[in-house]
């Protein structure tokens, strides 16, 4: 999984951007509370990692996921087809997120603030 995290400081002159790249290892606690996470990885990892994305994402933060509509480029029966469908369903059904799909195959999910 590749995860990019960005958190803005309240000062207009100061901001912090963290980039994290990992494969099957824990993500640093320093990116918890991220305002932006971009995911570009193997689609079969997305379902497994969604809870981790949500743990890292601050309320009001944005999760952008790529490669969600690869079915037009993959042979029938490819394992990513089922994994992509399962991930799309989870980000649509999760009450913590508001999700929209873009024509280029990305999804934008915003984590709503808990009441």
Q: What is the rounded distance in angstroms from the CA atom of residue 39 to the CA atom of residue 28?
A: 16
pTM beyond cutoff 0.85: no
| 27, 3 contact by CB (below 8 A) | yes
Segment 51-109, tens digit of pLDDT:
989 999 998 999 998 877 766 676 777 777 888 889 989 999 999 999 998 887 778 88
């Amino acid at each position: 999984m590749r995860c990019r995290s960005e958190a803005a400081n309240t000062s207009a002159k100061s901001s912090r951007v963290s980039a994290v790249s990992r494969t099957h290892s824990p993500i640093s606690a320093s990116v918890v509370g991220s305002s932006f996470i971009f995911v570009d990885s193997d689609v079969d990892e997305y379902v497994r990692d969604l809870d981790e994305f949500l743990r890292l994402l601050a309320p009001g933060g944005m999760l952008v996921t790529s490669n969600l509509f690869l079915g037009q480029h993959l042979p029938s029966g490819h394992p990513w087809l089922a994994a992509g469908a399962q991930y799309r369903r989870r980000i649509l059904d999760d009450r913590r997120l508001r999700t929209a799909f873009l024509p280029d195959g990305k999804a934008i999910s915003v984590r709503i603030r808990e009441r």
